[in-house]
Every structure is written in C-alpha cells, then in structure tokens.
Copies of this chain bind each other. A is one copy, B any other.
Amino acid sequence: MTMRMTTPLPHGGRLVERVVTDPVLAKKLAKGCPVYDIKPTVNEKGVPVRNVYREIMSICYGFFSPVEGPMGSAELERVLNERRLLNDWIFPFPLLFDLSQEDYKKLGVGPGDRLLLRLKGKPFAVLDISEVFVVDDREAMAHRIFGTPENNPEVVKEPFDKKHPGWVIYKCHNPVMLAGKYTIINPPTFKPPFDRFWLPPRQSRAEYAKRGWRTVINHQTRNVPHVGHEFLMKNAAYTGDIEPCNGIQVNAIIGVKRRGDYPDEAILEGHEAVNKGGYIKPERHIVTFTLWDMRYGNPLESMLHGIVRQNMGCTHHMFGRDHAAVGEYYDMYATQILWDKGIPSFGFPKSVCEVPYGLQIRPQNMAEFWYCPKCNEIAYSGSCGHSKEKQKFSGSFIRGMVAEGIYPPGVIFRPEVYEVVVKWWKKFNYPFCNEAYVKRVEEELEINLPDLDV
C-alpha cells in the first residue's frame, strides 16, 4: 500500500519546452518568414480583452503541456465535445491563433509555411502552420466552450452572455485560425517586480527538488491576500500524505485586467509579504505566476489550473467555492464537483483525477473561513459551530474600505501586506486597476523584448 506521494509527471507525460535561446538558431528559424505583428483581441468597444502572446508564452514554457501550439479544426472539435486533445489528454479550452480575413489575405500563408510573430515591434516567436480553417460563428463556439443550462444542467445555471469576460474573449476571436506549433525565438525579459516571480515548470520543479519539497499545494490567486486567503492557504496545506504539504505555491494568473482588480504588482508583492512577514515562512512558501487571460470558466478554469500546477510540480491544488468564477453562471460548487465526482455533460463521468488521461494532481476541496468572535479567531466553517456569530470576509466590503482610505484592522489585512497595497496605490494613484492602468498594461505588457536582428 503506497502512501507517499511524489512529484507528478507533467500532463501528457513530458514537459513541452519550445524556447530557442541561441540567436544564431533564432535567426535561422526566422529567415525569410512572412511577418505578423501580434494584436490584442478587442471587445465590441475596442477594449483589449486578450493578448495571444500570453498563450504563446504559456505553451512554449510548458505551463500548458502537452499543448505545443494553436489547435487545428479536429482538435478544436474534440476539445469542444469531450474536453480532450487529439492525443486523449484532457484539456478544457480551445487555444487558437486567430486572424482577421484582411490580415490573412495580406499574409497569404498556408500549411507548411512558417510565420514570424512580432511583439512590440520585435521578433518574438515563429508559428509553423499545419492548417488554416475558419470558425464562422464564434459566439456559438463560446457557448459550446462554457456550456449552457440545457446541455450542462449539472452546473450551468444561467446562459453565458457579454457580461462574462471569458465568453467575450472567445466571441471576439477573429474568424481565421492558423494551427500548428509555436517556438519562441526571442525570450522576453520580465519587468520588475514580475521578473523575480517568473518560474516556469522546469525551473519550478527544480526549485521544489532543491528545497526538498516532496508535496506542494497550490493556491490560485488574482487577489492581494487578506487574512482569510492566508488562512485558506495555510490550513488547506495541512493536507499531504503522511504529513502536511512541504510547500505552498502561490501561482497568480497574470493577464488582461478588469477595472477594480488589484494591480498585478500588488498581487505578487502582497503574497510575497505574507512570507516576508513570517505569517507563512519563506522556507515553506513561494510566489509565482502564469500568463493567461482568465476565462473565468469555474470548473473548466479549475481544470486548466490543475494542468498548469501539475506541470509546475505541485501534488495538490486547493479549491474553494466559486473557483475562478464571475457572476452566477455556474453552481458555486461546480469546481469541487468536477474534482470530486465529475461532470458527465462536460465529458467527465468521474473526477478529472480518475478518468483515463486525466490529472495526477490531487484536489483539496475546502469550505469557507470566517472571523468568529466566539472562537476569537479566523475559523473554518467545517469546524466552527458559531454560524450565527460569524463575520464573513466580504471582498467588496474590504475593497470599499480600501477605496475609502481606511486602514484595515489586522484581522482583515496583515500590515505588511497592506503596505504593499499602499505602495502601488501611490505609484498608480489608485488602489485598484483603473482605465489608465488597464490601457497601459495592454499596450506595454509585463515584458520587454531584447533586440534581435532577423
């Protein structure tokens, strides 16, 4: 009877790494290629909602292993129908390289061609094209991706619409899809403070091995951590195998921002402040990020999160209620259901850990934390018997307090964490992402590209 866990294999069996660091080879690969300047995907109002560069980064650095590039028509169909790649491994979302008809005509490329992708005016990656196809009805595609109350009655409560940012991303894709494989030929460098949190799967696995972490639990975040988040993190981490998890990995999803989000810089440094302040000691805690324009697909998003964190070497993944959710499209427990008994209409009659070609990372499905004046502590709903006296963490209440300039009490924010909020507030003139921040980020991105003459 084996009871000790070990670092799981990457999803699909091996890590994808498609990054060329040798400029000589890079130039050779790019030589004579037609050129395309990557443009953000924009919504009906022209506001950026996605930048495919983030998908290229996550694919080429192995976060999305075993995916190697934008999907072809057969793979797209299989993902929509079964949430599986053509090689049978489970995968929740289409990853597409989309062009307008105009750009496609201008480029004049087809299967067998290699396209040089430029970002911020510099060479970035190449795409070896294997197929070109058209998706006429992207709105229908978006519905198939996220589900409908009719087709997915187990978990979908409301039809998706333009208030859902992930649905909008797919609806706003261009019609022409180039499929194939990406290769980064000019690795970007991250701006501070992003640079010190960049730990792609191979490096992440090496870091855990170096730290002697056999078991590592992930905490997904898009937030500056309040004390409730800290308690979720450190308490979920008591799971493991014969002892609590050796390490706690915070992995922030960094991508297109929405107004009212905390700035990415504050999110990363806020989590770091938890370990710098000793609330979870640095020997047991690490802050990292993944580039991805969140699709907010709750159970489907959780599956992607599981893939990313398994690829990064985690053994466990904590899931609360309303995981990666916006609005009330999904049942608030949809993610826990997927990891517990599965969602048949999405192709999973059993947990995503128990189906063939499924995941090896294990769920830790958690209930709520609240402040209990009777227990005199942040208490767990599964244990605390004082549900009448409880004081819930309300994200919007806390944001309201922050926006009003009220210094929050220690039971809401650790002072070291709140200082990070203030630091970036001063820099950006507002504690949350406003239009100026969102616009600047999507223009400048988190990265710089070195010069590369091709």
A260 is an interface residue with CB less than 8 A from chain B: no
Most buried by B among A237, A244, A354, A377: A244
A3-B354, A351-B3 known; A386 vs B278 contact (CB < 8 Å): yes
| Contact present for B278 and A385 (CB under 8 Å) | yes
CA gap between A277 and B241 in the complex, in Å: 31
Cβ contact of A383, chosen from B234, B239, B377, cutoff 8 A: B234
Q: Cβ of A78 < 8 Å from any Cβ of B?
A: no
Q: Complex formed: what's the CA distance from A351 to B280 in Å?
A: 29
Q: Which residues of B contact A240 (CB under 8 A)?
A: 239, 364
Q: Is A94 an interface residue (CB 8 A)?
A: no
Give the docked Cα–Cα distance between A52 and B282 (Å).
Answer: 52
| A364 CA / B239 CA spacing, docked (Å) | 9
Given that A3-B354, A235-B235, A235-B238 are known contacts, is A243 also in contact with B366, CB under 8 Å in the complex? yes
Which residues of B lie under 8 Å from residue A243 when comparing CB positions? 336, 340, 363-366
Question: Mask for A423-450, Cβ within 8 A of B = 1, else 0?
Answer: 0000000000000000000000000000
Range class of the A interface residue count: 35 or more
Q: Which residues of B contact A279 (CB under 8 A)?
A: 375, 383-385
Which residues A279-304 have CB closer than 8 A to chain B?
Answer: 279-282, 284
User: Interface majority SS on A: helix, strand, loop or mixed?
Assistant: loop
Question: In the complex, A442 Cα to B195 Cα: how many Å?
Answer: 69
Q: List residues of chain B with CB within 8 A of the CB of A360.
A: 1
Whether, in the assembled complex, A236 has its beta carbon less than 8 Å from a beta carbon of chain B, the answer is yes
Closest to A359 in B: B1
A104 within 8 A of B: no
User: Which residues of B lie under 8 Å from residue A340 when comparing CB positions?
Assistant: 242-243
User: Which 10 pairs across A and B sit closest by C-beta, in order of nearness?
Assistant: A278-B385, A281-B385, A238-B238, A243-B365, A239-B239, A280-B383, A234-B383, A242-B363, A278-B386, A235-B238
Where the two chains meet, the residues of A that have a C-beta atom closer than 8 Å to any C-beta of B are: 1-3, 234-244, 275, 277-282, 284, 336, 339-340, 351, 353-354, 358, 360, 362-366, 374-378, 380, 382-386, 410
What are 25 residue pairs bridging A and B, where the CB atoms are less than 8 Å apart in the complex? A1-B354, A1-B360, A3-B351, A3-B353, A3-B362, A235-B238, A236-B238, A237-B383, A238-B239, A238-B380, A239-B244, A241-B362, A242-B351, A242-B364, A242-B365, A243-B340, A243-B365, A243-B366, A277-B385, A278-B375, A278-B384, A279-B385, A284-B382, A376-B410, A377-B378
